[in-house]
Amino acid sequence: DAGITQSPRYKITETGRQVTLMCHQTWSHSYMFWYRQDLGHGLRLIYYSAAADITDKGEVPDGYVVSRSKTENFPLTLESATRSQTSVYFCASSLRDGTYEQYFGPGTRLTVT
């Protein structure tokens, strides 16, 4: 299917476990982003990538790792999950930087117990 997809849509994990959230886009957009959405904080940028093999930190990167070996994929890994990482995670993509819109995936609801 065309567009931007995320998997899994829902995930429950335990404190200390590693978990990877997947993001895939079919538009060949250069830029991809990971946000988290929390009550009282809105959406905050975790990491972004300008192209394959180029990534940069956003506002709240601690505890997260990203990679981008292929243009279409941008996985987000929580190396040792903590309860404070319970959130809804959104992946987004943009054709290029600057004037272009960001398009969002459906989100992954992650619960860390």
Partner 1 sequence: KQEVTQIPAALSVPEGENLVLNCSFTDSAIYNLQWFRQDPGKGLTSLLLIQSSQREQTSGRLNASLDKSSGRSTLYIAASQPGDSATYLCAVKETSGSRLTFGEGTQLTVNP
Residues in contact with partner 1 by CB under 8 A are 31, 33, 40-45, 48, 50, 56, 58-59, 90, 92, 97-99, 101-107
What the block records as the tokens of 38 is: 């929390």
Which residue number, 40 or 83, has a Cβ lying nearer to partner 1?
Answer: 40
- CB-nearer residue toward partner 1: 14 or 53: 53
In the bound complex, what is the minimum distance in angstroms from residue 54's beta carbon to partner 1?
A: 11
| Residue nearer to partner 1 on the CB measure, 33 or 64 | 33
Neighbours of 72 (CB within 10 A): 16
Q: How far is the CB of 86 from partner 1 (least distance, A)?
A: 16
> Do 78 and 84 meet the contact criterion of CB atoms below 8 Å apart?
no
* Distances in whole angstroms, Cα of residue 95 to Cα of each of 32, 59, 72, 76, 78: 9, 22, 12, 20, 26
- Could you tell me the smallest distance in angstroms from the CB atom of residue 60 to partner 1? 11
CB of 58 or CB of 63, closer to partner 1: 58
Q: Which two tokens stand for residue 62?
A: 């601690």
- CA gap 46, 76 in Å, rounded: 9
State the nearest-atom distance from the C-beta of 70 to partner 1, in Å.
19
